[in-house]
Amino acid sequence: MISTSKTASDRLRRVAGAALAVLRLKAPLLRVYRWRQERKSIKRFPITKPIDRMSVEILSNPEFQHSVNEVANLTLLDTPRLANLWQLCRATDHSGAMLEVGSFRGGGALHLSNACPQRTIIACDSFQSFETIDPVLDYQFHKDQFANTEYEKVANLFSSRGRTGRVFSGFFPASVTGGKLPRISFVHLDVDTYKATAESLGYLLESELMLPRSLIVVDDFLRGTGVDQAVAKVLAEHADWRSFPLFPAQGLLVPRSYLEAAT
Ligand SMILES: C[S@@+](CC[C@H](N)C(=O)[O-])C[C@H]1O[C@@H](n2cnc3c(N)ncnc32)[C@H](O)[C@@H]1O
C-alpha cells in the first residue's frame, strides 16, 4: 500500500518537474523562434531605403511621441501604422465616435483616443481569440492566439484617463447588434481572419452607423491573407466605397460621401 502511494507521488513529482522544465524553456524557445522569423523577414522583405525621418512632422509631434510610448506595450501596431491611424482618424467627422474592432490589449484604441481625446472611443474584442479560422485563408493563425487580454484592463485604459470609452466583449458584430453603437466616423478593423473581417465590414457598411465623412482602416491588407478576400468581397457589394493601400500593410477604405461631405 505504502509503496503504491509512493510510486504515485514519485510519478506526480516527475510530471510536475517535466511541466516546469517546459515552462522554463518556453520563453527562450519563443525568443529563438522570433529571432529566426525576423532573420527570414529581413531576407525576404528587405527595406533597401530606410524611412527618411528628416522633418517628418508627425514624428516630431510631442503628443504623437507620447502616445506611441504610452501604448508601446499595449499594441502590436508599429510606428508607421500608428502614424496612419493618428492622422486619418483626425481627418474624419469629429462628431462621430471612433471604433476599433479587434482591440486585444487596447493600445490601438487608446492611441486613437489620444489623437482625439474629446471623441467617444469604442473598443471591441471577443476576449477569447478567434471564432472561426479558415485552414487555407487564415493559415497563419490559431485558436487561443490573443486570448491573454482582459475586459477590465482595457476598460480601465479609458476610465483612468477620463475618456468617454466603451468596451464590448464578444464576437463582433453580434456583440453590438440591437442599437448598442452610436454614429461612427472612424473604424480600425483588426480582426485578422476572413470571416471576422467580412462579417464586421459587411455589418458596418450595411448599417446606418457610418457618417458621410468617415474612413475605415483595415489592418493586414495586401499580406496575401483572408483579409484581402474579405475586403474584396464586401466592397464588390458596396460600389460607393473604394480601397487604397497604405504602407506597410493597411488598407484605407473611403466612401464616395467623404469628399462630398462638408469639412
Ligand atoms: C491582431 S489582434 C488586434 C491587435 C490590436 N488592434 C492592437 O492594437 O494590438 C486581433 C484581435 O481580434 C480579436 N478578434 C478576432 N475576431 C473577432 C471578432 N469577430 N470580434 C471581436 N474580436 C475579434 C482577437 O481576439 C484579437 O484580440
> What pLDDT was estimated at residue 27?
77
Dist. CA 55 → ligand 1 center (Å):
34
Task: Please determine, for residue 168, whether its predicted confidence score (pLDDT) is greater than 80.
Answer: yes
For residue 194 and ligand 1, the question of a CB distance below 6 A is answered with: no
Task: Please determine, for residue 4, whether its predicted confidence score (pLDDT) is greater than 90.
Answer: no
151 in Cβ contact with 126 (< 8 Å): no
| Spatial distance between the Cα atoms of 108 and 192, rounded to a whole number of angstroms | 15
For residue 138 and ligand 1, the question of a CB distance below 6 A is answered with: no
Dist. CA 126 → ligand 1 center (Å):
7
In the structure, what pLDDT confidence band is assigned to residue 18 with cuts at 50, 70 and 90? confident
Pairing state between β 184-189 and 250-255: unpaired
The CATH superfamily holding the domain 57-260 is Vaccinia Virus protein VP39 (3.40.50.150)
Dist. CA 193 → ligand 1 center (Å):
9
Task: Please determine, for residue 2, whether its predicted confidence score (pLDDT) is greater than 70.
Answer: no
| Residue to probe by mutation, ligand 1, list 191, 195, 220, most atoms within 8 Å of CB | 191
Long-range CB contacts for residues 54-62, cutoff 8 Å, separation at least 24? 58/83, 58/86, 58/87, 59/83
> What pLDDT was estimated at residue 216?
99
Q: Which residue has the cell 458584430?
A: 173
96 in Cβ contact with 185 (< 8 Å): yes
Domain residue spans of the chain: 1-48, 57-260
Q: Is the dihedral of CA 234, 109, 155, 94 positive or negative?
A: negative
Residue type, 37: Q
Dist. CA 222 → ligand 1 center (Å):
18
Beta strands in the chain (DSSP E): 97-101, 121-125, 165-169, 184-189, 210-219, 241-246, 250-255
| Residue to probe by mutation, ligand 1, list 105, 128, 146, most atoms within 8 Å of CB | 146
Dist. CA 128 → ligand 1 center (Å):
9
> What pLDDT was estimated at residue 145?
94
For residue 167 and ligand 1, the question of a CB distance below 6 A is answered with: no
For residue 107 and ligand 1, the question of a CB distance below 6 A is answered with: yes
Which of 46-50, 158-162, 199-203 is predicted least confidently? Answer: 46-50
Pairing state between β 250-255 and 241-246: antiparallel
Task: Please determine, for residue 85, whether its predicted confidence score (pLDDT) is greater than 60.
Answer: yes
